Amino acid sequence: MKRMGSLILVLALAALCVACGSTSAQPSTTQETMDAAPPETSEPAPEAEASAEEALEAHEQPEENANAVLVVYFSATGTTRGVAEKIASLTGADLVEIVPTQPYTDEDLNYSDRTTRATVEQNTPDARPEIANEISLDGYTTVFLGYPLWWGQAPRIMSAFVENHDFMGITILPFCTSGSSDIGQSDDTLAGQAGSGTWLQGRRFSGSASDDELLAWIDDAA
């Protein structure tokens, strides 16, 4: 009942935002033409060059979790960040970024070369890249969990996050961004690794997901 209450709260806040004429101001991604495989070129987004320290400062979690809803996300090139910010804005949720201790460089993300970091991590199921920031789930009853899809799965840093947090009493709504691939089993994999919490069906979005699209998903999930 408590979880349902939280989702109802999310929807009420979302409806309020829509009624107030809230519109999207997020940039759209340029990767929408991607087919089933990753894009052939990966232009660095400015965010990819930000240091872990800058990212930590930019997305400090509020000290007191006054809000029952939290959006947690990892984003290497900014696409998932855009969707996460939009969800937080639509729902009035708190927002926090999972910051890797070792930021991903363009070369790390070059999936054309199978020997580069991100691809090697995805090919190493027990790889657990270190997270630089402490993220507390205390007081939250609903968590939106966002990530880019890397070779059909969530980046291994997401596994590190879910394995180190207790989701007991929390409803989780996973979401991902990708060039074109669907969320697949990536949300189920994370749910299994977390081992606790109520995991709802996840959803893949493009970087240009509209408010209506996001609200429809939240509505369906409730």
Could you list the residues that contact ligand FMN (CB under 6 A)?
A: 31, 34, 38, 75-81, 109, 111, 118-119, 148-152, 177-181, 207
Q: Report in angstroms how near the CB of residue 29 gets to ligand FMN at its nearest.
A: 6
* Angle, alpha carbons 140-94-60 (nearest 5°): 110
Phi, psi of 100 (to 5 degrees): -70, 140
Q: Report in angstroms how near the CB of residue 83 gets to ligand FMN at its nearest.
A: 8
Strand partners for 172 = 143, 199
Whichever of 11 and 34 has its CB closer to ligand FMN, that residue is 34
Whichever of 171 and 206 has its CB closer to ligand FMN, that residue is 206
Q: Report in angstroms how near the CB of residue 154 gets to ligand FMN at its nearest.
A: 10
Whichever of 56 and 120 has its CB closer to ligand FMN, that residue is 120
Q: Which residue's entry shows tokens 């994370």?
A: 190
What residues contact 16, with CB distance under 8 A and at least 6 apart? none
Q: Which residue's entry shows tokens 């630089």?
A: 132
Q: Report in angstroms how near the CB of residue 145 gets to ligand FMN at its nearest.
A: 13
Q: Which amino acid is at 182?
A: D
Whichever of 78 and 197 has its CB closer to ligand FMN, that residue is 78
What residues contact 55, with CB distance under 8 A and at least 6 apart? 47, 97, 99, 103, 132
Tally of CB atoms within 10 A around 207: 23
Whichever of 78 and 103 has its CB closer to ligand FMN, that residue is 78
Q: Report in angstroms how near the CB of residue 71 gets to ligand FMN at its nearest.
A: 13
Beta strands in 74-178 (DSSP E): 94-97, 142-148, 171-177
